[in-house]
Structure formats: structure tokens, C-alpha cells
Amino acid sequence: MTGFSAPPELATRNFVIKRASALREGATPALFFGAALLITLLRLLIYRALAPQGLAAGLCQWDCAWYMSIVEDGYDLSARLVAGHLQLNWAFFPLYPLLTWGVTRLTGLDPRLAAIGLSSACFVGFAVLARSYRAATRDTSRAASSGWTWLWFLMAWPFGFYFQAPYTESLYAMLATAGLLALTRKRPFAAGGAIGLLTATRPTGMLLAAALGVRQLCQLRAGQDRRAIELILLPAVIGGLGLLGFMIFLVLHVGDPLAFLWAQTAWDHHAGNPLAVLLSGFQDFSLANHHVGRSYESAWGVAALGAAIWLAARRHWMEAWVCGASVLMALGAGTTTSVPRYVAANPAFLFAAADLFEALPSWRWRAAGLSGMATVQIVLVLAWYKAAHFLL
């Protein structure tokens, strides 16, 4: 008795279907990258059309001038007088201005345009890495559709312009997500490398370095020899090398490894109880005297802590730590200034917001949400061009 064999036509059709499916699955990351790049470029064109003073001048607001001072002249040797206060650029970590300087030297672009290009490239990297990370940590049955939903959400996010301005937000988000993705894939040394770059970008990078150290300590077993323990803890040590390198540079440059901390006092940043600072913002609320700014900033702090609780409830422990501890660290400087930016551009907060967005009951709700967010983004971009203080 001979076995049953499918007709040639059916076998050919099945082969074609499987081959097409494989090609489609293999092309998905490339398609996602291409779409993220294209939309980012289109968004830059829109930003340019909205900027009467030009894209570089429009996006380069507030702390951008400090980053450009490092790119053009290096770190200060002495304080400079700014708006009646003696200030220094030591407070700004070196990786972003160093990369901007490299792009400027390679391309010959104005440093502000080089920084915008660098931020935009890092933003695309963040979008792509976050897609992979969310596919690995969220409902896999919806991974393909939620990946595209994530892209539309990220591009429409009202505060998305932070990621293309000459700021560290996009570089920080990309490196933090790279570290989280490496940890998800159980690659501690890759995570340590990404976090090492992160700690050379912003001081909050040390939060992930500390979390990596705790994670590695949890893997220690009784009876392990010293060499095994050192190897297990090595990724966390690598994670702190960015900050260590900056401190060594400051010792050689100005003789003080903590100069980046002392420089913060020029902006009235002093150590304080983060929860007391958070509550003090609401105590200043007054419609009659128009004292709503600090309350607005504190509201963002509450939103970050709420998002951290939401993420912890869903067992996304590392994201909850990045979201909650980052805002507490910012508030620990004794001020609510810039807290909205630290929260609105925090990758973990965006993951929580995207989770809530994806939970909307239908595509109509999501389409309305995207339209509303994109409209608000345009309004905020125009406000940013006018150096609106609440966006600092």
C-alpha cells in the first residue's frame, strides 16, 4: 500500500504560502525601521515648516545652549555669568556632546543641526529597540499589531519633539531600552555595556547600573568561589564605567570628581526630600496669582509614580524602577523644574502609556487618540519655539 501524497498543485501552493510568510516575517524588522525613519524625517520637515527662525534655532532651546558650549569650546575651567548667576557646564554629562562633536567633524554641519540629526537617529534606534523589547515582554499573541501601534503612538506622542531636539532624551531612551532588552534576553554583559554608555549620558543611568548589580547578586549561590562572584558582578561594574570616566576627567580638568554635582547649585538644585518637594509644588497652586507652574510639574511627578505602580502591578519590575526612581532622583535635587520633561520622555513611562493606549476598546478610539495627540504635539512644538518655560 502506498502513502498518500498531495497533488503537485497543492504542494506548490503550500510552498509558496510558507515562503511568502517567511519573507514577510523576515522583512518586518526592516519595514519597521524604514517606516520609523521615514516618519521621523517627515516629522522633521513639519517641524521645519513650523519654525520661522529655522529648524536649528527653533529646536535649540534652554539647555541646548549648554550642550553646544561643550561641543564648541569643551568643559569650562571657570564659571560664566548667565542671567546674573555664575554657572558652569560641568553639570552636563559628556557622551551626547562628544557624539555631536563627532558628527559635526564628520559632516561639517552646524553643531545644532548635527545634534538634531544625532537625536533623530537615536530616536529611530529607540523605536526599533523598544519594538523588540515590548514584543518580548508583552502579550505575544498581539506582538505584530502592537508593534505598529507602538510606532504610531510614539510618533504622535505630544512630547515627541523632545526626542529630536538637541537634548539627551533620545540617546538616553535608546541606551536604556538596549539595556532592558539585553537583560530580557539574559545577556548581562551586553546590558552592562549599554548601561555603561548610559551612565556617561545622564546621572540617572546609575539607577539601571544599580538594578543590574542587584539582579546579578540574586544569581549568587552558596559555595561559589571568589572568581565566580567577580565574574557575576562584572556587568554591573561595566555599567558604572561611564560615570567613573566622567569623574576621572573632572579630576584632571578641575580637580574635583563631584564637580558635576556642585555645578547644580547654580540652578538652585539642593538635596531634599523628594516627596516633600513633590507636595510643595501643589502647595504653591494659586489661580489668582497664576502660580500653577509648580503644580503642573508636581502633577507629572505623580503621574510617573502612578505609572511605576502600574508597571510593578504588571510585573515589569525593571521598568517600574526606571520610571519611579528616575523621578524621585530628579525631585531629590530639591526642585520640580524639568520634571515634566524627565517623565514625558522617560522610556518606561512611555511603555506604560502605550500599554494603556493599546487597551483602548477599538481602532476608532485609538485613531481619535492619535489625532488628538498629534494635534497637541504641533501646539507644543510652537510653544517650544517660543521657549515656553513649562516645557523646560
Neighbours of 5 (CB within 10 A): 8
* Cα gap 73→70, rounded to integer Å: 5
In this prediction, what percent of the chain has a pLDDT beyond 70?
86
pLDDT in tens, 225-248: 777 777 889 999 999 999 999 999
* Cα gap 10→32, rounded to integer Å: 32
Position 63 pLDDT exceeds 60 = yes
pLDDT in tens, 140-158: 555 445 688 999 999 999 9
Span 192-221, mean pLDDT? Answer: 93
Q: At what angle do helices 143-156 and 111-137 cross, to 10 degrees?
A: 150
Assign 88 to helix, strand or coil: coil
pLDDT in tens, 242-298: 999 999 999 999 999 999 988 887 666 777 899 999 998 888 666 555 456 788 999
Amino acid in the structure at residue 108: G
pLDDT value of residue 140: 56
The residue among 392, 387, 375 whose CA lies nearest residue 58 is 387
pLDDT in tens, 302-319: 999 999 999 999 999 999
- In sequence order, the 6+-apart residues with CB closer than 8 A to the CB of 29 are 128, 132
Span 11-38, mean pLDDT? Answer: 64
pLDDT value of residue 271: 78
DSSP assignments along 60-78, one per residue: --TTHHHHHHHHHH-S-SS
DSSP letter, residue 267 = G
User: Do residues 328 and 309 lie in contact, with contact meaning Cβ atoms separated by under 8 Å?
Assistant: no
* Cα gap 38→33, rounded to integer Å: 9
Long-range Cβ contact pairs of 258-265 (< 8 A, separation 24 or more): 259/88, 259/90, 260/90, 260/91, 260/92, 260/93, 260/203, 262/90, 263/87, 263/88, 263/89, 263/90, 263/91, 264/91, 264/333
User: ∠377-380-382 over CA atoms, to 5°?
Assistant: 110
**Mean pLDDT over all residues of the chain?**
88
Span 14-41, mean pLDDT? Answer: 69
pLDDT value of residue 16: 45
Lowest model confidence (mean pLDDT) among 30-34, 176-180, 348-352: 30-34
- In sequence order, the 6+-apart residues with CB closer than 8 A to the CB of 255 are none
* Cα gap 381→59, rounded to integer Å: 8
Give the pTM.
0.90
Grid cell 524588522 — which residue?
A: 29
Span 361-380, mean pLDDT? Answer: 95
pLDDT value of residue 293: 75
pLDDT in tens, 83-135: 666 788 999 999 999 999 999 999 999 999 999 999 999 999 999 999 999 99
C-alpha pair distances (Å), 253 with each of 77, 174, 258? 7, 29, 12
- Overall residue count recorded for the chain in this entry: 392
* Cα gap 223→205, rounded to integer Å: 32
Band (23; pLDDT cuts 50, 70, 90)? very low
Assign 235 to helix, strand or coil: helix
Span 172-181, mean pLDDT? Answer: 98
User: ∠70-126-69 over CA atoms, to 5°?
Assistant: 10
Position 22 pLDDT exceeds 50 = no
Amino acid in the structure at residue 50: L
